Amino acid sequence: MRVLVTGGAGYIGAHTSRLLAQRGDFVIVIDDLVTGNRERIRGLPVIQFDIANGSASQLAELMREHRIEAVIHFAGQKQVAESVAKPAWYYEQNVGSVAQLLLAMESAGVAKLVFSSSAAVYGDASGAISESAPTTPINPYGATKLVGEQMITASSQAWPLRAASLRYFNVGGAGAPELGDTQALNLIPICFEQIAAGKPPLIFGDDYDTADGTCVRDYVHVSDVADAHLAVLDALPQAPGNTVLNIGTGVGTSVREMVDSILAVSGSDLPVEVLDRRAGDPAAVVGIVDGIHQLTGWRARYGVADIVESAWLSRQFFSAQSHEES
């Protein structure tokens, strides 16, 4: 297939672009290269282009020129706190880009789309969450993803678009050390940061209604997430409209279990510090992932140990690189 990957130099985008290229698909990446890094996808064609501020007609031209058959849309902003501070900018970036992309796809006759959505659309829902759970985002980031999904659904009713919106749970790890996420402000990288500074990892609240009192999340390996995109892309002919799918493992892991495994992999004997709850954290968020399994046969292959281990190797890789540079 001839696939255009937006945001293909980013964390999940690069893993997916590499897999597509490895199986012999034609891949072209467009990325504004602000947070994306060309090094991650060495050997693949990259066009530097900012979709949210670019024109749909330019984008359509590019699709025609490269005879694109499908788009995987990763480009976007993904920091919850930043979205709270700069809401209009998040809508411009995350919603504007979907609008431009859909206009371009319709004009160029590209009728397959896989969209990066997020479990953030579920807001503060707690427990095992299926795709039919209410969508009530509690921050602008989640809201922009939901609007993106809605725009895609409406487009799939207006013209022969086949799409899937993938709602990622907690993505982590690295398929290769150089593919790790150096900008994430999530539990695993924050803990590594604390440990590197000789400070105890922090647990935000241990008085939740969960087995060990700490929050439970569904951590899914980025290589599994990348793989899911290929499986869903291949299944689009059997899936009319905009198919919404959870991407997770269906297994919950507590913050305390994660922190213990992070301390173990980094060989640290630092203690753990328990702080108050962080505002807005639901107790447990675990995906029900039967939908993608039924459509494609996909299931996550990696567990939490693989996620933590590969994230650690990636961190080692980047810190060795920054030592060399300094």
CB of 204 to ligand UDP, least distance (A): 4
Q: Residue 141 catalytic?
A: yes
Task: In angstroms, give the least distance from the CB of 124 to ligand UDP.
Answer: 11
Rounded to whole angstroms, the Cα distance separating 315 from 191 reads 11
Site string for ligand UDP, 240-269 (x = CB under 6 A): ---------------x--------------
SS3 77: coil
Q: Which of these segments, 70-78, 197-205, 224-232, 244-252, binds ligand UDP (CB under 6 A)?
A: 197-205
**The two structure tokens encoding residue 252:** 């919950």
Q: How far is the CB of 28 from ligand UDP (least distance, A)?
A: 31
Residues 272-301 that bind ligand UDP (CB under 6 A): 278, 281
Q: Phi and psi of 116, rounded to 5°?
A: -80, 105
Task: Give the shortest CB-170-to-ligand UDP separation in angstroms.
Answer: 5
Stretch that binds ligand UDP, among 31-39, 158-166, 198-206, 290-298 (CB under 6 A): 198-206
**Binding of residue 215 to ligand UDP (CB under 6 A):** yes
Spatial distance between the Cα atoms of 46 and 68, rounded to a whole number of angstroms: 14
> Looking at 11, 90, 122, 141, which residue is catalytic?
141
Q: Is 190 in the site for ligand UDP (CB under 6 A)?
A: yes
59 neighbors 51 (Cβ within 8 angstroms): yes
Nearest in space to 46 (alpha carbons), one of 68, 59, 31: 31
Of 101-109, 154-162, 186-194, 286-294: span binding ligand UDP (CB under 6 A): 186-194
Considering beta carbons, is residue 129 or 203 the nearer one to ligand UDP?
A: 203
Q: Which stretch binds ligand UDP (CB under 6 A): 12-20, 133-141, 158-166, 199-207?
A: 199-207
Hey, which residues between 144 and 183 contact ligand UDP (CB under 6 A)?
170
SS3 at position 247: strand
| Interaction of residue 138 with ligand UDP, rule CB under 6 A | no
Q: Which of 187, 199, 198, 195 lies closest to 316 in space, CA to CA?
A: 195
Residue 249 burial (CB count, 10 A): 23
Residue 13: half-sphere exposure toward Cβ, Cα within 13 Å:
34
Name the nearest CA neighbour of 8 among 35, 24, 25, 23: 35
91, 204, 317, 318: which one binds ligand UDP (CB under 6 A): 204
Q: Which of 15, 217, 221, 229 is close enough to bind ligand UDP by CB under 6 A?
A: 217
Name the token pair of 228.
């899911």
Asked if 187 touches ligand UDP (CB under 6 A), the answer is yes
Question: Taking a C-beta distance cutoff of 8 angstroms, is the pair 117, 149 a contact?
Answer: yes
Amino acid 33 reads: L
250's tokens: 């269906």
Other beta carbons less than 10 A from residue 132's beta carbon: 9
Known catalytic residues are 141
Residues of this chain that interact with ligand UDP (CB under 6 A) are 170, 186-187, 190, 202-204, 215, 217, 255, 278, 281
